[in-house]
Amino acid sequence: MAAIAGRVCVTVVLLVCVLGGQALDLLMGTTTSGSSPSTPTVRCRCASYPNVTLCSWPEPPHHPPTHYVATYSERHRQSVTKHCHLIQPGSSSSDVISASSSSSDRLWHCHMPSLKLLTDYIINVTAVYSGSSSFHLSSFMLEDIVKPDPPVDVTVSPRDSKRLLLQWSPPPTWAHLDIFPLKYQIKYQRESRGIPRSYNLGPIESNWVVLKLKPGAYLFQVCAKELLNLGECSDWSSPVKN
């Protein structure tokens, strides 16, 4: 084995990248001796308020790290760090992993239970290689990263000669619908040359809407949002046709 001695470099990149509703990248860094491994790119999302917050990052395909260490803390109490519970790619204990992680990457996840609102959190995901490590720090607030999975079982049927009934079920991964209800947004457009139109439904939870539209073939989609406007609407459900 070739040992590379005497060359240890520390690279620190300060990144400020604010995207609506995304975790904020704070700092990434590498401590290497030899080749420079890639820092994990971490994304965090709460798919079921309040207890299912996952941060995820892709495993690099060619030189996977020997292991990861993921810790988190409140920004104002950084001395108190907790371990984020790691879930390997393709792991069967992935019942908390949301259905919509459709990416083809092999994703690592880590799970943080019962986070608090109005609290700035910092997560440090460190990839450990033989002889080097690289970390990624992100910051988030729970109310910004709430994003349910899309509604399921979306159907559209004629209600009478002029009206259509659009129905759906809430995302099954949203565990506490009784305490934290969802509201919905619908989008429809003509199948050909359609301009999409969308509507916010609410303020109370409802799993159906009756639409009066000009005759024709339309595509319908639904997204789900926490009733009190925490975070953002889910991805759109796949389109269904009347």
Ligand X SMILES: *[C@@H]1O[C@H](CO)[C@@H](O)[C@H](O)[C@H]1NC(C)=O
Q: Which residues bind ligand X (CB under 6 A)?
A: 50-51, 69, 71, 113-114, 124, 126, 135, 137, 176
Residue tagged 């290689």 (tokens): 129
**Which residue number, 179 or 195, has a Cβ lying nearer to ligand X?**
179
Q: How far is the CB of 128 from ligand X (least distance, A)?
A: 8
Give the type of residue at 105. Answer: D
Q: How far is the CB of 106 from ligand X (least distance, A)?
A: 22
Contact 50, 96 (CB under 8 A): no
Q: How far is the CB of 192 from ligand X (least distance, A)?
A: 45
Neighbours of 173 (CB within 10 A): 19
Q: How far is the CB of 116 from ligand X (least distance, A)?
A: 11
**Which residue number, 102 or 114, has a Cβ lying nearer to ligand X?**
114
Q: How far is the CB of 58 from ligand X (least distance, A)?
A: 19
**Which residue number, 78 or 229, has a Cβ lying nearer to ligand X?**
78
Q: Taking Cα atoms as reference points, which of 89, 76, 59, 75 lies closest to residue 124?
A: 75
Rounded to an integer, what is the distance from CA 21 to the centroid of its chain? 10
Distance (Å) of CA 159 to CA 53, 200, 209: 39, 21, 10
**Which residue number, 81 or 101, has a Cβ lying nearer to ligand X?**
81
Q: How far is the CB of 133 from ligand X (least distance, A)?
A: 7
**Which residue number, 59 or 235, has a Cβ lying nearer to ligand X?**
59
Contact 54, 111 (CB under 8 A): yes
Q: How far is the CB of 176 from ligand X (least distance, A)?
A: 5
**Which residue number, 50 or 151, has a Cβ lying nearer to ligand X?**
50
Reported residue count of the chain is 242
**Which residue number, 50 or 170, has a Cβ lying nearer to ligand X?**
50
E strand segments, the chain: 9-17, 24-32, 43-48, 52-58, 67-74, 77-83, 85-87, 107-112, 120-129, 132-141, 152-158, 163-169, 182-190, 197-200, 208-212, 218-226, 240-241
Q: Taking Cα atoms as reference points, which of 133, 137, 113 lies closest to residue 124?
A: 137
